[in-house]
Chains A and B, each alone.
Chain A
Amino acid sequence: MNLMLALIVFSPLLGILVLSLMPKMQESSIKLVGILATLPALVLSLAVFSQYKNGTELFAYNLKWDWIHFGMSEGVFEIPFELGVDGFSLIMVVLTSILSVLAAIASLHIKKEWKGYFMLFLLLEVGMLGVFVAENLILFFLFFEITLIPMFFLIGKWGFHEKEKAAYSFLIYNGLGSAVLLIVIMVLFARTGTSNIDVLQQLLTADAGHARITDNVKMGLLLALLVAFGVKLPIFPLHTWMLRVHVQAPPSIVMLHSGILLKIGAYGLIRFGMGIFPEQFTSIAWLLATLGVVNLLYGAFLALIQKDFKMVLAYSSISHMGIVLIGVGALNEAGIQGAIFQVVSHGLISALLFFLVGIFYERFHTSEITKLGGMAKGMPITAGFLLAGAMASLGLPGMSGFVSEFMAFLGLFDAMPVLAAVGCLGIILTAVYLLRAVLGMTFGKAQREFTGVSDISSFEWAPVLVLVALIVLIGVYPSVLSEPLQATLETIMLGLGG
């Protein structure tokens, strides 16, 4: 039995344990422990990743313990504790562990109650890692819920002016979303007696599966999944909660929120929606692609008129998640690969941009575009990285955003060329709103005194350099992602019957 995945998921708990024994006021050592506690998961997940690249089969990491049993002899319901990864989820685990370390570094800007903050932060990491390694739906749901509670407190306690409102609207939306998800899981479980994802896939796609659940119910379940994950992604019009979170939560938490938590929506749609209900998924692909184009354009148009840079980034996230939907809706290899690339790429890019927000917010206590004008004069390096982040976000070739955007559109042009052509308007709009915002902050006449303001400093270098390096690496050498994904993609395509 390979304990690797369990170690990865639960290693942050060690940090929580240590933190709980520490006195409240030891700021620097609490921060140090908080950062150190995120490292084991990173080291271990990178180890798994490199072993996989060197030819180790992923099922070697599967882990299964008996956990819960109930029911009578002819219908035993089993919920084992089972962990496992495929190419896609492994990449998500690596992404999560990388961003967790970087967000922990960004948390050095946190001003109060560090002990509680880092304990919740680490618990959040457990939840996020668990979501991607859970092999059955119930475990997935459990970890999914674990992410909600720390997030609620992290927003509500350490956020900005309207933090409570943001926290509640986060909880209500995500709570409703997970309630819907729970219904889907329970129906599947009750009908089939299992919640193992792979087993469900086989049961429901095999012909015998029709008897267990009728096609209509399957469609209903898929639509329910779409709502549940649509809240998370978010899909228009279920998106307003995430705007508040983007603006009100501390930037270090938004790095994780925008970088990982939103991606659970995409992960769920691809892994469960596409995996368990391939037939029904195919028949609503047009809907997803359309919603994708709507998301892309709606987010872009609204990002165009925002005054606060955080709002620009929030709408930009909506817009970029549209590309995930576009790729998924294209339903071919190019599209799905593009969607997964976009999940990773946007995770890195939005983490970079929010880290930079953290840097100048720390110095100027504002993220309003007009108040920051001419920043390049006083903080040339920060301004340079902001521009690099914007370029990555608007899909400049040589950076990760281009590869994903290109593949998603490549896929959609094969499936629905007219819709794709409409979507291409988003490519222009993205450039417009990002340049408007970033040039508005960095170029032009200096709006304030920059004397005595330090440019990017010591610890702030590390996350920025790591993120830029990863973004460029994927942009220049995309095989680093596409190779580990190959097998997973083939399985998905097989399920879709293509």
Chain B
Amino acid sequence: MENAWIIPLFPLLSFLFLLLFGKKLKENSAFVGILLVGISFVYSLIVLFERFSQPTYKAEGTWLSIGDVQLTAGFEVNQLNALMLVIVSLVSLLVHTYSKGYMHDDERFHVFYAYLGLFTFAMLGLVLSPNLLQTYIFWELVGVGSFLLIGFYFYKEDAKKAAKKAFIMTRIGDVGLFIGMILLFWQVGSFEYDEIFAAVETGSISTGMITLTAILIFIGAVGKSGQFPLHTWLPDAMEGPTPVSALIHAATMVAAGVYLVAALFPLFTASETALMTVAVIGAITAIFAASIGLVQTDIKRILAYSTVSQLGYMMLALGSAGYVAGVFHLMTHAFFKALLFLAAGSVIHAVHTQNIEEMGGLWKKLRVTGPLFLVGTLAISGVPLFSGFFSKDEILISAWVHGNIALFWLAVIAAFFTAFYMFRLFFLVFTGEARKEIRNVHESPSVMTLPMVVLGVLAVVAGYVNTPWFGTFLGDWLVEGNEALGHGHVEGPAWIMIVATLVSLAGIFLAYLMYGKKSLSRDWLSSRAPVTYSVLYNKYFIDEFYELTIVNITKFFSLFLKYIEVFIVEGIIKLVVEVVQTFGKTGSRVHNGQVQMYGTVAFVGLAVLFVIFAVTGGYFG
């Protein structure tokens, strides 16, 4: 564990190496990336197992001193960090492997692997950070990795816009984090998590300040995790290559917001207002994004809205004091959502379209991808015995027990939506007949299916580390030795599990009726409630709203300042120039060659000096 700091350096090495030599290596770049991230993964596993038996390890050194204040940099291996290390490096390793097949024949193959390395470095660095400043540093670097990968197809206008949007929208959130972090610093005198928690515990920070800083930091999480109202960048981010969506916009980076709230959990629990804000935003996001997912037609965008919605669940869990539930769902979601994205990539790879209206009947043709996609779909829908079932159950129980009854019901409805839209997707893509002729459909190579199989297995079994039936190992371990994080397992009424199951089954059944058996018209919603349908289809017109308000106001203000610049500021300059010129002209007129004139000027000057001397009694002053 003492050497855990080395874990992020392997992907960094991969980045630098491929940047310099990737062009010559061409597609062999993949081996460099896979090997180096593989080392990181193995070492992360070792660290995780060491952490089972040993206490938290932390090491730091001075990074920058400002006067007497020393800002430090270092790393820490606690339960959450160790778990995240494994999740991140595992998913990254699988995506590295998968991309070898998916990105085959791309002329910037090596660049792709270099960027993946950069991103993985930043993400691993983020989860090892022992203080808020270092977290912020890697937080931003993660954002750049994401930006570069979204804009990977830089020649596409949409990719350019999406990359720019992702960077700017998350930066709006980041400024919240930036301010919150600095305000907290002036309260605590340190960026260290330990010292922040100590200060919170001893009550040396006022409640108002705790609430303010917690909410500001949460704004950062809102941006990164695509929570309402800063969520609009995440669906657009699907312009990036699909493996990127699996790694960054499903499993790791977008979960960083959830991770941040979890890492600062004691700060949030100290303020009921802050906690409530997190829960409310989470629940709203969960149902809001799920409702949009109901009617979208692009396979990746449906998954993107699903991600937004699931991240909302995690926030709801944390906001309901369900530390374990939030982190548990973060883990299971990382596996099944990465699986779904990779499977979707495999589908896109086979049929070269992302529009599910044009797909159909792929079950017979994609004999590996199909069943794996089904596994992921069952897991996310919360069907019993799959991983998502257990973690979602924990979240619902947390919300209920914490007393967020209204939010609990929102989450239940969102669960219904989730089951519906996921099976709508499944039936449209894999059953029935192709609605548009699609030729040459073939299963992806094993380098792509293998990572999916691994994730498929995890999507089934990952839930069993924390179940009410066989024991809550994960939960107990996560909160071990830290009372501020709550209990490992929250006991809740048994009916919640039954309701959750029924709701998912109902969603699946409805999807089956409409898209599988087709006994219900598919146009049911669009014909009965065209307005609702249009609002959902256009994502509540939020992008349009931002365009109309914020973007236009900014542009207008810029233009306004431009007129100030042109007329007022430049006007002053003209005045100055006039004065100088007039002065110059007057001066040159004095130089007319007549001695009388020179004498007069000299005399007047001398007189002025005498007057000044007489009045001030000296030179100046």
List chain A positions with a Cβ less than 8 A from chain B: 169, 172, 176, 186-187, 190-191, 213-214, 217, 236-237, 239-241, 298, 301-302, 304-305, 332-334, 337, 374, 376-377, 391, 396-398, 402-403, 407, 409-410, 413-414, 417, 420-421, 424-425, 427-429, 431-432, 435-436, 439, 442-446, 478-479, 482, 486, 489, 493
A306 vs B185: C-alpha distance when bound (angstroms): 37
Which stretch, B164-172, B268-276, B304-312, B404-412, touches the partner chain A?
B164-172
Taking a contact as CB atoms under 8 Å apart, the answer to whether A482 and B154 are in contact is no
Taking a contact as CB atoms under 8 Å apart, the answer to whether B561 and A302 are in contact is yes
Q: Which of A298, A332, A337, A444 has a CB less than 8 Å from the CB of B157? A: A444
Taking a contact as CB atoms under 8 Å apart, the answer to whether A214 and B565 are in contact is no
Residues of A contacting B618 with CB < 8 Å?
190
Known A-B contacts A190-B619, A217-B621; A391 and B576 likewise in contact (beta carbons under 8 Å)? no
A301 vs B160: C-alpha distance when bound (angstroms): 22
B372: min CB distance to chain A, Å: 34
Known A-B contacts A431-B167, A443-B160; A410 and B175 likewise in contact (beta carbons under 8 Å)? no
Q: Which of A305, A374, A391, A424 has a CB less than 8 Å from the CB of B179? A: A424
Taking a contact as CB atoms under 8 Å apart, the answer to whether B160 and A396 are in contact is no
A332 vs B174: C-alpha distance when bound (angstroms): 25
A29 vs B63: C-alpha distance when bound (angstroms): 46
Taking a contact as CB atoms under 8 Å apart, the answer to whether A413 and B561 are in contact is no
B139: min CB distance to chain A, Å: 8
> Which residue of B is nearest A436, CB measured?
B164
> Which residue of B is nearest A409, CB measured?
B182
A424 vs B621: C-alpha distance when bound (angstroms): 41
Taking a contact as CB atoms under 8 Å apart, the answer to whether B164 and A439 are in contact is yes
Residues of A contacting B69 with CB < 8 Å?
334
Q: Which of A186, A374, A435 has a CB less than 8 Å from the CB of B164? A: A435
Fill in one digit per residue for B502-525: 1 if any A CB lies within 8 Å of its CB, else 0.
Answer: 000000000000000000000000
Taking a contact as CB atoms under 8 Å apart, the answer to whether A191 and B619 are in contact is yes
A493 vs B66: C-alpha distance when bound (angstroms): 12
Known A-B contacts A240-B570, A413-B186; A334 and B171 likewise in contact (beta carbons under 8 Å)? no
Does residue B64 face the partner (Cβ distance < 8 Å to A)? yes
Does residue B367 face the partner (Cβ distance < 8 Å to A)? no
> Which residue of B is nearest A426, CB measured?
B175
Taking a contact as CB atoms under 8 Å apart, the answer to whether B182 and A172 are in contact is no
> Which residue of B is nearest A332, CB measured?
B67
Does residue B141 face the partner (Cβ distance < 8 Å to A)? yes
Does residue B53 face the partner (Cβ distance < 8 Å to A)? no
A398 vs B138: C-alpha distance when bound (angstroms): 9
Residues of B contacting A396 with CB < 8 Å?
140-141, 144
Residues of A contacting B185 with CB < 8 Å?
410
Known A-B contacts A436-B164, A439-B163; A444 and B137 likewise in contact (beta carbons under 8 Å)? no
Does residue B577 face the partner (Cβ distance < 8 Å to A)? yes
A439 vs B155: C-alpha distance when bound (angstroms): 10
Residues of B contacting A176 with CB < 8 Å?
576, 580
Taking a contact as CB atoms under 8 Å apart, the answer to whether A333 and B66 are in contact is yes
Residues of B contacting A214 with CB < 8 Å?
621
Taking a contact as CB atoms under 8 Å apart, the answer to whether B167 and A424 are in contact is no
Taking a contact as CB atoms under 8 Å apart, the answer to whether A398 and B576 are in contact is no
Residues of A contacting B137 with CB < 8 Å?
397-398, 402
18 contacting pairs across A/B (C-beta < 8 A): A176-B580, A191-B621, A301-B561, A304-B554, A305-B559, A333-B66, A337-B66, A397-B137, A424-B179, A427-B175, A431-B167, A432-B554, A435-B167, A442-B154, A443-B163, A478-B64, A479-B65, A486-B65
Taking a contact as CB atoms under 8 Å apart, the answer to whether B178 and A424 are in contact is yes
A29 vs B175: C-alpha distance when bound (angstroms): 52
Residues of B contacting A337 with CB < 8 Å?
66
Does residue B573 face the partner (Cβ distance < 8 Å to A)? yes
B96: min CB distance to chain A, Å: 22
Residues of A contacting B66 with CB < 8 Å?
333-334, 337, 407, 410, 482
A385 vs B619: C-alpha distance when bound (angstroms): 56
Fill in one digit per residue for B35-75: 1 if any A CB lies within 8 Å of its CB, else 0.
Answer: 00000000000000000000000000011111101000000
Specify which of A190, A439, A445, A446 lies most central, judged by the most chain B CB atoms within 10 Å of its CB: A439
Taking a contact as CB atoms under 8 Å apart, the answer to whether B168 and A435 are in contact is yes
Known A-B contacts A237-B569, A478-B64; A444 and B154 likewise in contact (beta carbons under 8 Å)? yes
Residues of A contacting B609 with CB < 8 Å?
none
Chain B residues numbered 569-621 whose CB sits less than 8 Å from any CB in chain A: 569-570, 572-573, 576-577, 580, 618-621
A274: min CB distance to chain B, Å: 16
Taking a contact as CB atoms under 8 Å apart, the answer to whether A417 and B183 are in contact is yes
Residues of A contacting B568 with CB < 8 Å?
237
Known A-B contacts A305-B558, A397-B140; A479 and B168 likewise in contact (beta carbons under 8 Å)? no
Taking a contact as CB atoms under 8 Å apart, the answer to whether B171 and A427 are in contact is yes
Taking a contact as CB atoms under 8 Å apart, the answer to whether A482 and B580 are in contact is no
Taking a contact as CB atoms under 8 Å apart, the answer to whether A374 and B155 are in contact is yes
Known A-B contacts A302-B558, A304-B558; A479 and B182 likewise in contact (beta carbons under 8 Å)? no
Residues of B contacting A240 with CB < 8 Å?
565, 569-570, 573
> Which residue of A is nearest B108, CB measured?
A380
Residues of B contacting A410 with CB < 8 Å?
66, 182, 185
A402 vs B172: C-alpha distance when bound (angstroms): 16
